[in-house]
Structure 1
Amino acid sequence: MKIKRYLARDMQEAYLAIRRDLGPDAVIVATRRVRQPGWRGFFQPPRLEVTAAVEEGEGRTPSRPPGPAAPGQGAGNGSDTGGRAAGYGDAGGRGGLEALQRELADIKAALHRLVRPAHSQLPEHLQDLRQRLLEQELGEEVVTALLKGLEEAGREVVGEVVLSRLNEHLAPLMAPFSEKRVQAFVGPTGVGKTTTLAKIAARYSLYQNKKVGLITLDTYRIGAVDQLKTYGEIMGLPLEVAMTPRELRAALENLQGCDVVLIDTAGRAPENKAMLAETRGFLEVVPDAEVFLVLSCATRLKDQLQAVDNFRSLKYGRLIFTKLDETNCPGAVMAVAAAAGVPVAYLATGQDVPDDLEKAEPYLLARRIWEAVVQDGSGGRVA
């Protein structure tokens, strides 16, 4: 077997050199980034070091005559082991040559397994399943964990195992609703904060028999105050409107008798730092409030991740995902929650108040993801 090492600017340059020197059957054994020695190396970009190997077949002329290796030569940098391989065969006769060939074949097979992606070894039906799971934005690492060890499993078993593993991956990302008295809802425009707040208010009031107070800071959007006022009148809940942090402090004093106070904020574009700073000024009045970041599942993943980063200045502690019924990629919830580093509290699956809201449960979301995978369906309500 001939082994050579190459230094190149990139993989394409290394690949061309390997093909030229070792031929199309060469196998890449290892790659790494290295710097040139000496002080000059600190001021130059690192080079790509690629180690490649190829088995020398019968009838192929070795790179040097058989015999003892010359001093300083061997399987090191830019050298080959062809001479030593031939010497081994001559010393052992026909049996020794055959043994060497078997050993080289085993080494070549091992090298192929090393450089071959793990997923390429999956059977065809798992290859298809892997692609569908990746389309759910679950990520390579998670998908690999979901399919690990299932190469010989039947299709029915695969479904049960993947669903169970999804549940395990989601469990650390979910948390019950907050028990804090003051709760504020922030997020981009159009994600459904006001409707979500009304659903949560109804659940506190109707299902837990708590006295709920509402405050709105959204005096920008036309009809926003009227929308929340209508919800409040239907449920018999008091509503306060605050246009400044001082008015917010007064509104909180007016609602001292309430068990829970829910604060609706104006939608903010994640890129608008000035508007986010204004909202932060309001929230500083209630430093102990639980802040929920509300995101829409109908928004593309890249924009959700941007909102996660840009809204960190508002110190949100939990996530709410709306419009789960409007996406065929419910798996993105896992990716966003993992990036945010805070748990998911609620999932909204429609516009009906208060029905289309549920506390985040890992198994229910796991079922939605699995159904979207096998049926290409939406992430809406699961029967």
Structure 2
Amino acid sequence: MKVKIFKESDLKDCIDKVKNELGEDALIISTKKKKEDDGKEYFEIIASNSENEFDILSELKKELVRLKDLLIIRTEFNNLLNKLIFDEEVLNLYLTLLKKGVCNEYLLDILEEENILSKIHDKRYNCKALFMNALYDKIEVENGYQIMDKPKIIALVGTTGVGKTTTVAKLAAIYMLNKKRNIGIISIDNFRIGAKEQIGKYADIMGIPFFQAFTHKDLNDSINYLSQMDIILVDTAGQSQNDKNKLEYLRRLFSYNHNLDIYLLLSVSSDEAVLLDTIDKFSPLRFKGYIFTKVDEAISHGKILNILIYKRKPISYITNGQDVPEDIEVADKEKILNIILKGKIKNGNQD
């Protein structure tokens, strides 16, 4: 189906032009008389060469349904604003979250769950506090520094360029320097040129034992050798979430050791749809939680809350730069919500 717009000063000339280009059976969708900016009148015809009138009617029906849906959404949105307008703080918080990219459906669910719209006229309630507390409840965090059993084995996985090796170095430095823990590092990044040298250099600078593993036997042997360490950090190769072979290689490699805590790294600067696809494709690894990286490079941060609501798992860490070990933070609810609302960590590390 081909739809075109024709313009002529004379109606007959305009119709003739339609027939010449689209044929005698062309279907005229609309005819209008309009004026140019200088006041000169002309005729505009929208026509199609479709041989099947049903195709045109079907397309028009779809467009009408779309417009109807938009009208319903706009009406519902206006009704919501008319209710929220009675509490300026709640209204501003709602609009800010929308602007930051938080899904409107999730926000409406929160408002409904807390009965905020029905409480907004009741002075006994601090509706903004109710809203904020409900947002905090949607953010699940994990104490990344907590060590129950030794050794604690932490493996980082994710797509290419998400920051796994740098994050391993940051964690190693924090655990060793700030928490006084004994650290070991294992690399199973056997695909990227220079990967061993990069993480090996970090390990050498910090005086941390470092091993490279190629098979599940190498991995288990390295873990056994480092069994007296408090923490063993495992760096993995980055790969596309669509590379089934490499993901299966990781799954089989990890399946022989059930004591691994696997964390999926997600770059906040990536598109939300890509992040959701990454989560789905890495799910066979049964990762424990998220580490959000590149907070400093993201334009909007609402996708963090969307992911935490839609794909519920805890956040352990957030990274906001390349400096080792400064640019990493243990996740807590206040920091995460502050990042979503203001794009920065409250302590000022992130602008």
- SS class of match (2:281): helix
Aligned to 1:34: none
Of 265, 273, 283, the residue aligned with 1:294 is: 265
Contact 2:335 2:346 in 1 (8 A): no
- How far 1:203 sits from its partner (Å)? 1.5
C-alpha spacing 1:381/1:231, structure 2 compared with 1 (3 Å): farther
Unaligned runs of 5+ in 2: 1-57, 66-71
Give per-residue Cα distances to partners, 1:315-373, cap 9 Å, x unaligned. Answer: 101110001111132221111123332111111111111111111111112122222xx
Give per-residue Cα distances to partners, 1:64-110, cap 9 Å, x unaligned. Answer: xxxxxxxxxxxxxxxxxxxxxxxxxxxxxxxxxxxxxxxxxxxxxxx
Of 113, 119, 133, the residue aligned with 2:80 is: 119
Structure-1 separation of matches of 2:338 and 2:219 = 41
Contact 1:368 1:382 in 2 (8 A): no
- The answer to whether structure 1 residue 244 and structure 2 residue 215 are counterparts is yes
Aligned to 1:335: 306
Aligned to 2:97: 133
C-alpha spacing 1:260/1:123, structure 2 compared with 1 (3 Å): closer
Q: What letter corresponds to residue 143 of structure 1 in structure 2?
A: L
Which of 231-240 and 142-151 deviates more? 142-151
Contact 1:217 1:242 in 2 (8 A): yes
Q: What letter corresponds to residue 259 of structure 1 in structure 2?
A: D
Contact 1:325 1:380 in 2 (8 A): no
Structure-1 separation of matches of 2:294 and 2:127 = 29
Of 127, 137, 142, the residue aligned with 1:175 is: 142
Structure-2 separation of matches of 1:241 and 1:288 = 19
Structure-2 separation of matches of 1:12 and 1:131 = 33
- SS class of match (1:334): helix
Contact 2:335 2:345 in 1 (8 A): no
Give per-residue Cα distances to partners, 1:176-213, cap 9 Å, x unaligned. Answer: 11535111111111100111111111121112211110
C-alpha spacing 1:270/1:128, structure 2 compared with 1 (3 Å): same
TM-score by length of 1: 0.62
- SS class of match (1:299): coil
Which of 338-347 and 310-319 deviates more? 338-347
Q: What letter corresponds to residue 119 of structure 1 in structure 2?
A: L
Contact 2:304 2:340 in 1 (8 A): no
Give per-residue Cα distances to partners, 1:282-318, cap 9 Å, x unaligned. Answer: 1123211100011110111000000111101111011
Flag the structure with more relative contact order, 1 or 2, with Cα contacts below 8 A and sequence separation at least 6.
2
- How far 1:162 sits from its partner (Å)? 4.9
Structure-2 separation of matches of 1:342 and 1:194 = 22
- How far 1:169 sits from its partner (Å)? 3.0
Q: Which has the greater radius of gyration?
A: 1
Structure-2 separation of matches of 1:324 and 1:382 = 14
Aligned-CA RMSD value: 3.2
C-alpha spacing 1:153/1:205, structure 2 compared with 1 (3 Å): farther
Aligned to 2:194: 223
- SS class of match (1:221): coil
- How far 1:233 sits from its partner (Å)? 1.2
Aligned to 1:208: 179
C-alpha spacing 1:297/1:245, structure 2 compared with 1 (3 Å): same
Contact 2:155 2:233 in 1 (8 A): yes
C-alpha spacing 1:161/1:339, structure 2 compared with 1 (3 Å): closer
Contact 2:305 2:340 in 1 (8 A): no
Q: What letter corresponds to residue 228 of structure 1 in structure 2?
A: I
Which of 203-212 and 334-343 deviates more? 334-343
TM-score by length of 2: 0.67
Aligned to 1:166: 135
Q: What letter corresponds to residue 211 of structure 1 in structure 2?
A: N
Give per-residue Cα distances to partners, 1:133-173, cap 9 Å, x unaligned. Answer: 2233322233233593486699xx88766545433432xx2
Q: What letter corresponds to residue 290 of structure 2 in structure 1?
A: L
Q: What letter corresponds to residue 221 of structure 1 in structure 2?
A: R
